[in-house]
């Protein structure tokens, strides 16, 4: 995807993904404008101390505020929607706040993008949106549905919307990795269940995948990268070798294994190189755009425990967290 001389807007731009996205875009491209849209002026101030340049714009704003989004998207070519409330316990305790940001905020992004003539929008989703068992996952599932169906609202020549869905991001805020690192000093790590597995992707991989999907998208797809799984006990052993484990049991709203593609979604899933593409079952979607794609077998399910790619404790450095 050539982002040179394009105007980009990144919601949730001061989060972990935003920092890495800005770093990669400025390193490899020469955008006309790169708008960092977020609600925290302190984080924007910290970010502006590291990332500066004539292309950068720092916009204070909240995705709950459609008028501010309308102003921010004036003249924008591409939007990456990364803003979300994503801490599972916080979303459970403050459910309407999660709905306001993750669902109503998604609708505001859609409306503003269509009204301002944005060419493409990629929204970030999560494995927790598949068969959700917590409110965070439920709000992200709802947001996915909004973004996919938004293509019908924007018209044949209007804004195109797609989603990217991937697993746990190594090194991001909210990751278990910093928790294990802090507990390492005490010699005891708290682990929910010894059987637990998770998908893992690095920030850099996530950013590059989003950029590639921005290039490939026709509108209506959900893109899923082929990424490795890791057992939580192996992750803990890699971070804190020799430490004891205290198994505390699965918490409310938590799964033993995560799912990136459900069996019910498999009917429209194409395997395309290093990713899967969930195609929308709508007449407006032109599936021949992926002639190299192979339809997966019936009732295919992409779970963190049935994956064919694994990272062991000794291979932890492959995550390359820098």
268-299 pLDDT, tens digit each: 999 999 999 999 877 767 655 787 889 999 99
CA-to-CA separations, 223 to 61, 104, 108, 161, 273, in angstroms, rounded? 28, 22, 22, 12, 12
DSSP state of 103: I
176-184 and 232-239 helices, crossing angle to 10° = 40
Q: Within a 10 A sphere around the Cβ of 266, how many other Cβ atoms?
A: 18
Backbone angles phi, psi at 42, to 5 degrees: -65, -45
Strands 7-11 and 78-81: what pairing?
Answer: parallel
CA-to-CA separations, 247 to 189, 232, 314, in angstroms, rounded? 8, 11, 22
Please give the pLDDT value at position 282. Answer: 77
Dihedral sign for Cα atoms in the order 173, 175, 181, 183:
positive
3-state helix, strand, coil in the chain (%, to 5): 40, 25, 35
* Residues carrying an active site annotation: 128
Q: Cα 127 from chain centroid?
A: 9
pLDDT in tens, 159-170: 999 999 998 888
pTM of the entire predicted model:
0.93
Question: Is there a contact between 227 and 200 (Cβ–Cβ < 8 Å)?
Answer: yes
Question: Is there a contact between 47 and 22 (Cβ–Cβ < 8 Å)?
Answer: yes
Could you give the CA distance from residue 168 to residue 180 in angstroms, rounded to a whole number? 15
| Sequence-separated (6 or more) residues with CB below 8 Å from residue 248 | 190, 191, 192
| Ranges in the chain, pLDDT < 50 | 322
CA-to-CA separations, 308 to 128, 198, 227, 229, 319, in angstroms, rounded? 20, 13, 9, 8, 17
Question: Is there a contact between 201 and 213 (Cβ–Cβ < 8 Å)?
Answer: no
Domains of the chain: 7-167+201-226+263-303 (3.40.50.720)
């Amino acid at each position: 995807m050539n982002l040179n001389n394009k105007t980009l807007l990144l919601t949730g731009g001061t989060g972990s993904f935003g920092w890495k996205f800005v770093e990669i875009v400025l390193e490899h491209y020469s955008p006309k404008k790169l708008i960092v849209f977020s609600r925290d002026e302190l984080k924007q101030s910290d970010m502006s101390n590291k990332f500066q340049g004539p292309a950068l714009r720092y916009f204070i704003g909240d995705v709950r505020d459609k008028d501010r989004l309308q102003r921010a998207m004036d003249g924008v070519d591409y939007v990456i929607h990364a803003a979300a409330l994503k801490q599972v316990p916080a979303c459970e305790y403050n459910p309407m706040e999660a709905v306001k940001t993750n669902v109503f905020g998604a609708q505001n992004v859609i409306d503003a993008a269509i009204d301002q003539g944005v060419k493409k929008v990629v929204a970030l989703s999560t494995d927790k949106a598949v068969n959700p068992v917590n409110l965070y996952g439920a709000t992200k599932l709802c947001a996915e549905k909004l973004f996919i169906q938004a293509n019908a609202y924007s018209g044949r020549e209007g804004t195109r919307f797609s989603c990217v869905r991937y697993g746990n991001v190594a090194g991001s805020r909210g990751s278990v990795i910093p928790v294990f690192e802090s507990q390492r000093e005490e010699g005891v790590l708290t682990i929910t269940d010894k059987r637990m597995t998770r998908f893992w992707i690095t920030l850099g991989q996530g950013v590059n995948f989003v950029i590639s999907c921005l290039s490939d998208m026709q509108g209506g797809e959900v893109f899923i990268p082929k990424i490795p799984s890791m057992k939580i006990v192996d992750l803990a052993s890699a971070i804190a070798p020799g430490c004891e484990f205290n198994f505390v049991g699965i918490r409310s709203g938590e799964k033993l294994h995560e799912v990136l593609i459900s069996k019910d979604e498999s009917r429209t899933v194409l395997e395309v190189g290093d990713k899967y593409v969930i195609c929308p079952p709508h007449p407006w979607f032109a599936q021949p755009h992926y002639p190299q794609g192979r339809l997966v077998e019936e009732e295919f399910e992409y779970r963190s425990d049935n994956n064919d790619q694994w990272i062991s404790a000794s291979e932890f450095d492959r995550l390359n967290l820098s």
